[in-house]
């Protein structure tokens, strides 16, 4: 007993206590302890410990498990459930397969929608403290600018560029402040340059211009994989690139290469490669591949962000700016056009709308909500469907359940069995779902314009959610049969024939589910129809100019434009060239205008400067413009929308405006003209759709020059069958004139189509989802109808014997579905119209919603249902009545 | 009468042969001593629980002892049925032994 200080391994002791029956624990533990202390006298402690553990494990057998004797009784029962469940699955292979495929496809679709929804709703949450970051915006005229202008626009010195951010830094409300300009933004010049790194020359685009990198790093911390923020941002003339670009430029082995501090030459300027950073995820409101850190940002404005210090609000910062705004922007308060500086939380940017020069096209919250609703609809269809199928399956298994009752199963046991079976069956879909989602993510990304990684579905939360969704689907499908059949009396289970479908009952659980499904199917299909109708309308809409055959590209200045024009006219395929005024533009800054001698000032004017070639290239009819061919140098024309507005002020006919003076920016005091700039109206042209059809016609004020005075865009109308060859020819000429900016022609058709990317995406998603809804509903129908036909074969045979025709019998079988479908169509009519009109709200030019479409969809769906029912019932209907009735 | 396994028979005999408190651990020690083989405590325990179920032995909880950390022992006694059963086995064996002619 001198070894009393030693005790047996505590964990083994606890393990024993855990599994051992309480009634046996004391004696067993006592014996083992006694043996242990005994052994300590003859063995080493380690050996005694080892033997003790061995002893404990030797007790790990049913003898000591008395505690779980209750479970022991159930175990064979579970085995039985599993076995019977499996037999049922195998017995109805086709039925089960339809069931599982339907469930898998549906749940996968729901998961994909969820992934998209989540990616959109977590926009810009990539950055730490994203809830404290805000962006400054400026209200100017009637518009909100998302960027803050520099005091002297392009000619602003570094110091003045930093004036606003430096002021803000001094505030105790602000923890950090920064600004930047992405080259892909409207104020970024959409630059593309050839870049020289060592021996290789690569095309560089997607720049991010910074002139205060450390500030940027404070607000939007980037992860440096090579180099450091200090290396990149404490000196100028440095560039940092993303890992994505590094892979493209230097190959997969970029990590092992010695890249930092290499010289990089852009447009004869030498930069130092100072860092490689992790690329931003897709759901951030700006993006870049190359950061250029230099003294001055090459733009007239910058996107400006501040991060609040703890305990302050954005309003406090805005108030403070308002107090001293004249120090930052001299003359701000006196300028009647400046209407105040405001801010927007970082996470709201993605869903903002109507702001000028937004970096990425913001999402339409309404579309996202629609997608969420569609996801829910699909989920409901899956559930109703799956429930329907399981109800009809258990109807066939009533005898089995009855037998269980005979041998002593309680209502509770039956219910449990049904539930467990349903959940297990649903969980069988997990691998299929996983695979489906994994494989479709790349296509989905392309379709929706997002960047989800395939691995996302393996991540804990999403995988958990998938399992949960499947389990819930199983549970829901099991609840109804579980309750009904658990409660049913023994005789009704054993002797009652499957009652389902024997009598026509309009109000039954099953019919309710079927109708719901039909409503959703018709609704989705109708909305999709409307969306495609609108997209067709948009595509066929007479824009007022000719889109086909026009390409456009950037051009740097009027000199180069003129030179290139002469060169291009040597190419026979070139019909016309023009400077500026490429239609299909996003809205840009508007200005104020009025008729001379009136007080009514309009502030929605879109002012354009283009040359006559531009109108000719687009085939826009302009009668007055012919005078330009006859030696006139310049014309000022307005469109009909502007003319109507102005004529109504003067109370004259629009045509009478010709020859009168219009004044733009009448509030602007200048030496040359006094107040504003006068223009003599030379003519009126018909409205053409310069902007997207989402907006109504805007008043256009157009300066048309016989010869372009300045140029930043060039349009070329080509007549050719071999686009590639013709464009090669154009490129050849272009490179004679321009050596710095790479040739990057775009088709006008493409540009106009891109205006409706969001809308088209919602259309294709809706299309796929309604196809899915139909597929799922019909899969459900297949199960129900084949079951119904089988159950009614005697009835059908008797009808046949009594002389009923095949058509009549099919009508009898279909009667119920026809009625349900009619009801469903009527219910879905207002629903579909409501959602479609919601979707159409964003368009100024739109189709009229016609209820006929919904009825037509209803009829088509009905036709499909009837043919499906008839097809499935054909076998039963054609059976020899003698055979059926004798059996 | 229920059948008796080899281990059960041995344990029954061991209990009868022992003086003082008879419980799991001492039986395992006695088994090792007399039979010259090792046996695990769990084997003894399960065999004894079988014997008890068959009504050949009975048990009660004894007093606590220090070396068991204050845990009580289950003390076993052979019942009348157990005694007569082992007697019967012995008699039948004896009879069989008598039938073997040339053992001497």
Instruction: Test B42 with A33 for CB contact under 8 angstroms.
Output: no
Assess whether pLDDT exceeds 70 at residue A711: yes
Close Cβ partners of A277 (under 8 Å, ≥ 6 residues apart)? A222, A223, A224, A225, A240, A241, A242, A243, A291
Torsion of CA A613, A617, A623, A628, to 10 degrees: 10
Whole-angstrom distance, CA of residue A815 vs CA of residue A804: 15
User: What is the Cα–Cα distance from A20 to A60, expressed in whole angstroms?
Assistant: 8
Q: Name the strand (E) or helix (H) holding A197.
A: strand A192-197
Q: Find which of A29, A30, A66, A69 to mutate to test the B interface (most B CBs within 10 Å of its CB).
A: A30
* A/B interface, count of CB pairs below 8 Å: 65
pLDDT tens digits for range A639-680:
999 999 999 988 888 888 888 889 988 888 888 888 888 999
**Taking CB atoms and an 8 Å cutoff, what residues of chain B touch A27?**
23-24, 45, 61, 71-74
Q: How far is the CA of A632 from the CAs of A17, A635, A656, A657, B32, in angstroms? A: 105, 8, 22, 20, 126
A209 pairs with which residues across the strands?
A: A181, A292
Per DSSP bridges, beta strands A683-685 and A634-639 are parallel
- From A78's Cα to the closest Cα of chain B, the distance in A is 28
Q: Give the predicted TM-score (pTM) of the model.
A: 0.71
Choice between A781 and A837, residue whose per-residue pLDDT is larger: A837
CA angle A466, A472, A475 (to 5 degrees): 145
Provide the mean pLDDT of chain A. Answer: 86
Q: Which of A42-56, A584-598, A787-801, B14-28 has the lowest mean pLDDT?
A: A787-801
User: How far is A130 from A215, CA to CA, in rounded Å?
Assistant: 15
On whether the CB atoms of residues A785 and A872 are closer than 8 A, the answer is: yes
- Residues of B near A (CB-CB distance < 8 A)? 23-25, 28, 40-43, 45-46, 49, 61, 66-69, 71-74
How far apart, in whole angstroms, are the C-alpha atoms of residue A375 and residue A771?
13
Nearest to A124, CA basis, from A280, A278, A281, A284: A284
pLDDT at A507: 60
Q: Which of A2, A859, A18 is nearest to A10 (CA)?
A: A18
Q: How many CB atoms lie within 10 A of CB A400?
A: 15
pLDDT range class, residue A287, cuts 50, 70, 90: very high
CA distance A162 to A881: 92
Q: Do A28 and B24 touch (CB under 8 A)?
A: yes
Q: How far is A66 from chain B (nearest CA, A)?
A: 12
Q: 3-class SS at A423?
A: helix
3-state secondary structure of A862: helix
Determine how many CB atoms are found less than 10 A away from the CB of residue A13. Answer: 19
Give A675's strand partners. Answer: A669
What's the CA gap between A94 and A91, in Å, rounded? Answer: 9
CA dist., res. A271 & res. A241, Å (int)? 12
Whether residues A35 and B28 touch (CB distance < 8 A) is answered with yes
Q: How far is B14 from chain A (nearest CA, A)?
A: 17
Nearest C-alpha of chain B: how many angstroms from A17?
14
pLDDT digits (tens, 9 = 90+) for A536-555: 998 888 888 988 889 998 88
Contacts of B67 in chain A (CB under 8 A): 1, 33-34, 37
Q: Is the pLDDT of residue A500 over 50?
A: no
Closest residue in B to A3 (Cα) is B67
Residue whose C-alpha is closest to residue A328's, from A145, A154, A160, A175: A160
In which band, very low, low, confident or very high, does the pLDDT at A68 lie, cut at 50, 70 and 90? low
Residue of chain B minimizing CA distance to A7: B69
pLDDT of amino acid A437: 93
Strands in A674-680's sheet, in edge-to-edge order, are A674-680, A661-670, A591-595, A602-611, A700-705, A634-639, A683-685
Instruction: Please report which helix (H) or strand (E) contains residue A203, including its range.
Output: strand A200-205
CA proximity to A241, closest of A274, A283, A218: A274
Three-state secondary structure call for residue A125: coil
Give me the pLDDT at residue B2, please.
56
Residues B84, B2: contact at Cβ < 8 Å? no
Q: Do B24 and A27 touch (CB under 8 A)?
A: yes
**A610 touches A581 (CB < 8 A):** yes
- State the Cα–Cα distance between residues A801 and A815, nearest whole angstrom: 21
Under an 8 Å CB criterion, which residues of A touch B? 1, 24, 26-35, 37-38, 54-55, 58-59, 61, 63-64
Least confident of A293-297, A463-467, A740-744, A799-803: A740-744
The tens digit of pLDDT for each residue in A172-185 reads: 999 999 999 999 88
Closest CA to A712 of A674, A741, A736: A741
Asked whether residue A786 carries a pLDDT value surpassing 80, the answer given is no
Q: How far is CA A450 from CA A184, A246, A247, A445, B82, in A?
A: 17, 21, 21, 5, 82
Picking from A196-210, A490-504, B55-69, which range would have the lowest pLDDT averaged per residue? Answer: A490-504
Of the candidates A756, A686, A837, A690, the residue with the CA atom closest to the CA atom of residue A538:
A756
In chain B, residues with a C-beta closer than 8 Å to the C-beta of A58 are 40-43
Rounded distance, CA A256 to CA A635, Å? 62
Mean pLDDT of A106-135: 93
A61:B46 CB<8 A: yes
Closest-CA residue of B relative to A64 is B46
Cα–Cα distances in angstroms (integers) from residue A123 to residues A118, A120, A445, A651, in the given order: 9, 5, 16, 50
C-alpha to C-alpha distance for B69 and A4, rounded to whole angstroms: 10
User: What is the distance between the alpha carbons of residues A179 and A162, in angstroms, rounded to a whole number?
Assistant: 9
The token pair that represents A311 in the structure block: 């305990």
Both structure tokens of A716: 């070329």
Please enumerate in sequence order all residues whose Cβ is within 8 A of that of B50, keeping only pairs 6 or more positions apart, or say none: B5, B8
Q: Which among A6, A26, A31 is the top mutation candidate for probing chain B, defined by the most B β-carbons within 10 Å of its own β-carbon?
A: A31
Model confidence at B4, in pLDDT bands (50, 70, 90)?
Answer: confident
CA-to-CA separations, A183 to A187, A299, A728, in angstroms, rounded: 7, 9, 26
pLDDT of residue A597 exceeding 90, the answer is no
Residue A71 has pLDDT above 70, yes or no: no
Closest CA to A138 of A313, A327, A303, A320: A303
Q: What is the pLDDT of residue A501?
A: 45
Query: By CA distance, what is B41's nearest residue in A?
Result: A55
Mean of pLDDT values over A832-840: 89
B42/A61 touch (CB, cutoff 8 Å), yes or no = yes
Region of residue A177 (left: phi > 0; alpha: psi -120 to 50; beta: else):
beta
Per-residue burial over A91-128, b if 16 or more Cβ lie within 10 Å, else e, is ebeebbebbbebbbbbbbbbbbbbbbeebbbebbeebe
Number of C-beta neighbours around residue A825 at 10 A: 23
DSSP A651: T
Residues of B in contact with A35 (CB under 8 A): 25, 28, 41
The DSSP call for residue A655 is: G
What span, in angstroms and rounded, lies between the C-alpha atoms of B79 and B55?
7
| DSSP at A356 | B
Q: What is the C-alpha to C-alpha distance for residues A30 and B67, in angstroms, rounded to an integer?
A: 9
Percent of chain A with pLDDT over 70: 96
pLDDT digit string, tens, across residues A560-574: 999 999 999 898 889
Q: How far apart are CA A698 and CA A690, in angstroms?
A: 8
Of the pLDDT bands very low, low, confident and very high (cuts 50, 70, 90), residue A3 is very low
pLDDT 10s digits, A603-617 = 888 998 889 999 999
Q: In the block, which residue shows the tokens 């019942």?
A: B79
A109-123, A401-415, A525-539: which range is least confident on average?
Answer: A401-415
CA–CA dist A263, A199 (Å, integer): 11
pLDDT digits (tens, 9 = 90+) for A323-379: 999 988 888 888 877 889 999 999 999 998 888 889 988 888 888 888 888 889 888
Number of CB atoms found within 10 A of residue A68's CB: 13
Name the token pair of A352.
């903002």
Residue A836 near residue A849, CB atoms below 8 Å? yes
- Which chain A residues are closer than 8 Å to B42 by Cβ? 28, 55, 58-59, 61, 63-64
From CA A383, how far away is CA A492, in angstroms rounded?
A: 27
Which among B9, B49, B51, B53 has a CA at the least distance from the CA of B31?
B9
With contact defined as beta carbons under 8 Å apart, do A287 and A240 qualify? no
Task: Please give the share of chain A, as a percent, with pLDDT higher than 90.
Answer: 32
Q: Which of B42, B60, B75 to mutate to test the interface with A (most CBs of A within 10 A)?
A: B42
Tell me which residue of B90, B96, B68 sits closest to B12, measured CA to CA. B90
ipTM: 0.85
For residue A278, the 8-state DSSP code is P
Backbone angles phi, psi at A359, to 5 degrees: -65, -60
- Count the Cβ atoms, other than its own, within 10 Å of residue A570: 9
The residue count for chain B? 104
Q: Using CB atoms, which residue from A1, A34, A54 is nearest to B25?
A: A34
How much is the pLDDT for A272?
93
Cβ neighbours of A61 in B, within 8 Å: 42, 46
CA distance B100 to chain A (A): 40
* pLDDT above 60 for B100: yes
Under 8 Å between Cβ of A40 and A48:
yes
Of A37, A55, A64, the CB nearest to B67: A37
A588 against A553, higher pLDDT: A553
pLDDT value at residue A17? 81
Summarize the confidence of residues A696-706 as an average pLDDT: 90
Write the DSSP string, A691-740.
B-TTSPPPPEEEEEESS-S--SEEEEEE--S-HHHHHHHHHHHHHHH-SS
Query: Which of residues A507 and B26 earns the better pLDDT score?
Result: B26
Which of A27, A55, A63 lies at the smallest CB-CB distance from B74? Answer: A27
Confidence of residue A218 (pLDDT cuts 50, 70, 90): very high
* H runs (alpha helix) in A300-410: 314-323, 325-328, 365-396, 398-406
- In this complex, do B67 and A33 lie within 8 Å of one another by their Cβ atoms? yes
Which is nearest to A108 in space by CA: A363, A349, A438? Answer: A438
């Amino acid at each position: 007993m001198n070894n009393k200080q030693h005790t047996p391994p505590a964990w083994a002791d606890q393990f024993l206590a855990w599994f051992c029956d309480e009634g046996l624990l004391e004696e067993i533990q006592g014996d083992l302890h006694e043996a242990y202390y005994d052994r300590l006298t003859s063995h080493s402690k380690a050996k005694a410990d080892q033997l003790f553990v061995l002893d404990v494990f030797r007790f790990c057998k049913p003898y000591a498990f008395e505690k779980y004797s209750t479970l022991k009784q159930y175990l064979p029962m579970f085995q039985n459930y599993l076995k019977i469940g499996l037999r049922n699955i195998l017995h109805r292979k086709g039925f089960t397969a339809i069931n599982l495929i339907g469930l898998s496809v549906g749940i996968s679709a729901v998961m994909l929608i969820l992934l998209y929804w989540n990616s959109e709703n977590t926009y810009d949450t990539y950055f730490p403290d994203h809830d404290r970051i805000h962006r400054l915006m400026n209200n100017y005229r009637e518009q909100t600018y998302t960027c803050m202008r520099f005091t002297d626009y392009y000619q602003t010195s570094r110091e003045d560029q930093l004036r606003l951010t430096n002021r803000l830094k001094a505030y105790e409300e602000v923890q950090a402040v920064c600004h930047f300009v992405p080259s892909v933004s409207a104020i970024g010049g959409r630059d593309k340059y050839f870049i020289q790194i060592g021996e290789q020359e690569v095309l560089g685009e997607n720049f991010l211009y910074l002139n205060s990198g450390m500030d940027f790093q404070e607000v939007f911390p980037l992860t440096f994989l090579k180099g450091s923020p200090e290396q990149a941002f404490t000196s100028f003339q440095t560039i940092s690139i993303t890992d994505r670009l590094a892979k493209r430029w230097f190959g997969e082995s970029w990590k092992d290469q010695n890249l930092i501090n290499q010289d990089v030459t852009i447009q004869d300027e030498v930069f130092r490669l100072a860092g490689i950073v992790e690329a931003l995820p897709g759901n951030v409101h700006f993006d870049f591949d190359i950061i250029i850190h230099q003294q001055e940002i090459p733009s007239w404005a910058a996107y400006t962000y501040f991060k609040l210090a703890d305990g302050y609000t954005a309003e406090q910062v805005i108030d403070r700016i308002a107090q001293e705004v004249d120090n930052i922007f001299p003359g701000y308060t006196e300028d009647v056009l400046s209407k105040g500086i405001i801010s927007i939380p970082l996470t709201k940017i993605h869903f903002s709308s109507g702001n000028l020069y937004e970096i990425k096209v913001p999402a339409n919250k309404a579309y996202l909500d629609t997608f969420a609703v569609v996801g829910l609809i699909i989920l409901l269809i899956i559930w109703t469907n799956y429930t329907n199928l399981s109800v009809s399956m258990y109807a066939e298994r009533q005898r089995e359940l009855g037998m269980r009752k005979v041998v002593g199963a309680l209502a509770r046991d039956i219910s449990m069995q049904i539930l467990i079976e349903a959940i297990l069956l649903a969980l069988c879909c997990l691998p299929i779902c996983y695979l489906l989602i994994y494989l479709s993510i790349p296509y989905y990304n392309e379709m929706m314009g997002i960047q989800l990684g395939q691995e996302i579905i393996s991540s804990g939360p999403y995988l958990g959610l998938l399992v949960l969704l499947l389990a819930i689907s199983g549970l829901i499908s099991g609840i109804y049969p579980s309750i009904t059949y658990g409660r049913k009396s023994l005789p009704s289970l054993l002797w009652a024939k499957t009652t389902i479908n024997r009598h026509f009952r309009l109000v039954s659980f099953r019919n309710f589910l079927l109708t719901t499904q039909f409503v959703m199917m018709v609704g989705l299909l109708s909305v999709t129809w409307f969306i495609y109708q609108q997209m067709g309308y948009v595509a066929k809409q007479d824009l007022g100019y000719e889109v086909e055959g026009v390409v456009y590209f950037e051009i740097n200045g009027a000199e180069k434009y003129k030179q290139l024009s002469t060169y291009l006219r040597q190419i026979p395929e070139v019909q016309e060239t023009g400077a500026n005024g490429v239609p299909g533009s996003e809205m840009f800054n508007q200005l104020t205008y009025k008729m001379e001698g009136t007080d009514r000032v309009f502030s929605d004017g879109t002012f354009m400067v283009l040359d006559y070639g531009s109108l000719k290239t687009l085939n826009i009819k302009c009668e007055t413009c012919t005078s330009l061919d006859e030696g006139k140098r310049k014309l000022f024309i307005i469109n009909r929308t502007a003319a109507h507005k102005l004529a109504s002020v003067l109370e004259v006919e629009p045509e009478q405006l010709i020859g009168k003076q219009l004044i733009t920016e009448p509030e602007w005091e200048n030496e040359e003209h006094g107040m504003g700039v006068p223009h003599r109206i030379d003519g009126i042209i018909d409205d053409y759709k310069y902007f997207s059809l989402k907006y109504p016609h805007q008043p256009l004020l157009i300066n048309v020059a016989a010869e372009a005075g300045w140029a930043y865009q060039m349009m070329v109308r080509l007549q050719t069958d071999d686009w590639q060859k013709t464009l090669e020819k154009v490129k050849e000429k272009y490179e004679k004139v321009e050596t710095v900016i790479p040739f990057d022609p775009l088709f006008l058709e493409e540009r106009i189509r891109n205006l409706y990317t969001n809308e088209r995406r919602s259309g294709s998603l809706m299309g796929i989802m309604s196809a899915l809804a139909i597929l799922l509903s019909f899969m459900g129908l297949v199960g129900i109808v084949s079951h119904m036909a089988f159950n009614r074969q005697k009835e059908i045979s008797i009808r046949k014997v009594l002389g009923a025709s095949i058509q009549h019998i099919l009508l009898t079988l279909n009667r119920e579905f026809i009625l349900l479908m009619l009801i469903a169509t009527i219910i879905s009519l207002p629903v579909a119209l409501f959602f479609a009109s919601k979707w159409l709200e964003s368009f100024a030019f739109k189709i009229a919603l016609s209820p006929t479409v919904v009825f037509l969809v209803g009829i088509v769906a009905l036709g499909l249902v009837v043919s499906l029912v008839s097809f499935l019932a054909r076998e039963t209907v054609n059976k020899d009545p003698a055979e059926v009735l004798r059996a | 009468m229920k059948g008796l396994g080899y281990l059960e028979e041995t344990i029954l005999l061991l209990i009868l042969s022992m003086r003082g408190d008879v419980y799991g651990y001492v039986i395992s020690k006695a088994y090792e001593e007399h039979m010259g083989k090792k046996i695990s405590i769990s084997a003894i325990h399960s065999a004894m629980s079988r014997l008890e179920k068959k009504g050949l032995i009975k048990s009660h909880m004894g007093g606590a002892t220090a070396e068991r950390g204050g845990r009580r022992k289950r003390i076993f006694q052979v019942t009348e049925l157990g005694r007569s059963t082992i007697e019967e086995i012995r008699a039948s064996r004896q009879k069989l032994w008598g039938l073997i002619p040339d053992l001497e």
